[in-house]
Chains A and B, each alone.
Chain A
Amino acid sequence: MRNFSHRPTGGTVYGTLLNRREALAALGDQVNVAPYKAPPKAPILYIKPRNTWAQSGDAVVVPADAPELQMGATLGVVIGNTACKVSAADALNYVAGYVVMNDISVPHDSFYRPSMRFKCRDGFCPMGAFVSRENVANPDALAVTVAIDGKVVQQTDTAGRVRNIAQLLADVTEFMTLHPGDVLSIGISANSPLAHAGQRVIITIAGVGQLENTLVSEELV
């Protein structure tokens, strides 16, 4: 296993949905009726394309048609070695490290076939500095805090997942090889806070780092 001192680059960023137990539980009996008709079986994934990528310090443009955006604090797992059909027991050996991620969305109620407009806008996936795996003792038990304009609005953690990181990697790489530089989020918690233009959002994940972005109105860009 190589020991990355920096984040491998050039990969694909995959998001995971409804992986937090209470986020899935919040759907209640809806999972059994149309349009879902059954609880999810495989991990629910989507892609944050390269136009969404941003760094800490970058301004996030709030589109005119969506004045409030959901701040999706989550942990991004950065792949270090090509991972195809890995076992849960071995999965973490394929991880290079971690980043703090803000998986920004236009709020939407349906998970059936959401429009790309909700998650794929320019700048909708700020990611913080890379921290190598060796420096994070237990990535499945890290405190996560979201502060907006200096006020803490969400306190959650990386635990309580339907699939922890190792199991998520095992189930995803069963059908889809992950490559060095790919990033896989563990999914957001329930009740992600909303923010609007002019606000400053800081996401902190204990032991990983901080991600700070200011939202700006589209009209001002």
Chain B
Amino acid sequence: MKRVNMKRARVAYGGAIHDAYEHPAGVKLADGRVVAEEVVVWLPPFEVGTIIALGLNYADHVKELSKELTVTAKDEPLAFLKGPGSLIGHRAQTRRPDGVAFMHYECELAVVIGSTAKNVKRENAMQHVAGYTVANDYAIRDYLENYYRPNLRVKNRDGGTVLGPWLVDAADVADPHALSLRTLVNGVVTQQGNTRDLISDIPALIEYLSGFMTLNPGDVILTGTPDGVVNVNVGDEVVTEIDGIGRLVNTIVDDATFGR
């Protein structure tokens, strides 16, 4: 199949859902219309299957959280699952419940699986990658409990997994292990890192996961976040961005916005 575009989004506009592509004036829909970024509703950029997330996959973040860790030995990746009900796209809103003390973003490189992978060795792993997008994997640490960590009340809340704006074709990313990533809260950089510092790199994660479970097209691996998670408040604009992949915008809103 001929490759038509390196960056692809899914948006709702004019009563339908469209594939959309980068355009200097905003986004270009598959049907030819060019519209401003602000007038479309951005959806997660692909049909999302199983969502696998990594905890503590950057050495500096491990150090940051070490006070609350009761285990430090790391003999296998700390992987956990999230449900699709938590997904939202670019330029959407995430609710901060009244009275919580520590809600934080996590900027992560999301690796999208393109072909079925079972018992894949690391040297063959990258051929199963369809592409990449940006994830902002919110957590509310007030709800942390020590059973099946990180528990879903912390990590699987409605609107707590932001994905997008673009699915970037794997062929267009020269080295996914040399990408700078950062988070800006109201325009101020609060988190910075580089995917070269992943403890388990992408081939290692695919080898590990496919060793006990079949990965399917549309499954996505959120590869973890570096040092620098800070509390966000109602009204904050949170931008998670990865060079060459995308700039993902999210706004924190209050209970009243959601009728609570």
Question: Contact residues of A with B, CB < 8 Å?
Answer: 12, 14, 17-18, 34-38, 40-42, 44-47, 49-52, 63, 84-85, 111-117, 120-122, 175-179, 182
Contact = CB atoms under 8 A, between A and B. Distances in A.
A51 B51 CA distance: 12
Nearest to B118: A122
Chain B interface, DSSP helix/strand/loop, else mixed:
loop
A122 B85 contact: no
A181 to B, nearest CB: 11
Given A45-B153, A51-B215, A111-B148, 18 more contacts: A12-B85, A14-B83, A14-B152, A17-B147, A40-B147, A45-B152, A46-B152, A47-B81, A49-B50, A50-B50, A51-B213, A85-B260, A115-B79, A116-B52, A116-B79, A175-B153, A176-B152, A176-B158
Given A35-B70, A112-B146, A121-B213, A176 B83 contact: yes
Contacts of A114: 148
B212 A116 contact: yes
Nearest to B78: A113
B213 A122 contact: yes
A27 to B, nearest CB: 10
B72 to A, nearest CB: 12
A38 B145 CA distance: 8
B80 A116 contact: yes
Given A14-B83, A18-B147, A35 B214 contact: no
A45 B85 contact: no
Contacts, number: 106
Chain A interface, DSSP helix/strand/loop, else mixed:
loop
Contact of B213 (A44, A46, A49, A111): A49
B82 interface: yes
A49 B149 contact: no
A182 to B, nearest CB: 8
Interface in B178-226: 209, 212-216
Contacts of A52: 213
B244 interface: no
B49 interface: yes
B85 A176 contact: yes
Interface in B52-110: 52, 70-71, 76, 78-86
A87 to B, nearest CB: 14
B46 interface: no
Contacts of B71: 35, 112-113
B156 interface: yes
A12 B212 contact: no
Given A35-B71, A42-B143, A112-B149, A47 B213 contact: no
B52 to A, nearest CB: 8
B151 A42 contact: yes
A121 to B, nearest CB: 5
Contacts of B260: 85
Contacts of B86: 176
A62 B78 CA distance: 23
Contact of A37 (B85, B146, B209): B146
A45 B81 contact: no
B85 A36 contact: no
